[in-house]
Amino acid sequence: MKDCIFCRIINQEIPSTKVYENEYVYAFKDINPAAPVHVLVVPKLHIESLEGLNEDNLENVVHIHRAIKKVAEICKINKEGYRVIVNCGEGAGQTVWHLHYHVLGGTKMDEKIL
Q: Give CA 64 to chain center in angstroms.
A: 8
- Does 100 bind Zn ion (CB under 5 A)? Our answer is no
- Phi, psi at 54, each rounded to 5°: -150, 180
Among 1, 11, 31, 62, binds ligand 5GP (CB under 6 A): 31
Q: What is the DSSP letter of 41?
A: E
Question: Using CB distances below 5 to 8 A depending on partner kind, what does residue 54 bind out of ligand 5GP, Zn ion, none?
Answer: none
30 makes contact with ligand 5GP (CB under 6 A):
yes
Binding marks (x or -) toward ligand 5GP, 38..57, rule CB under 6 A?
Answer: --x-----------------
104's enclosing H/E stretch is strand 101-105
Q: Rounded CA gap, 86 and 99, in Å?
A: 8
The one catalytic residue among 38, 65, 100, 102:
100
Amino acid at 94: Q
42 scored as a contact of Zn ion (CB under 5 A) = no
The Cα 29–Cα 13 span in angstroms is 16
Residues forming the active site: 100
What does the binding site for Zn ion look like in residue numbers (CB under 5 A)?
1, 4, 6-7, 46, 98
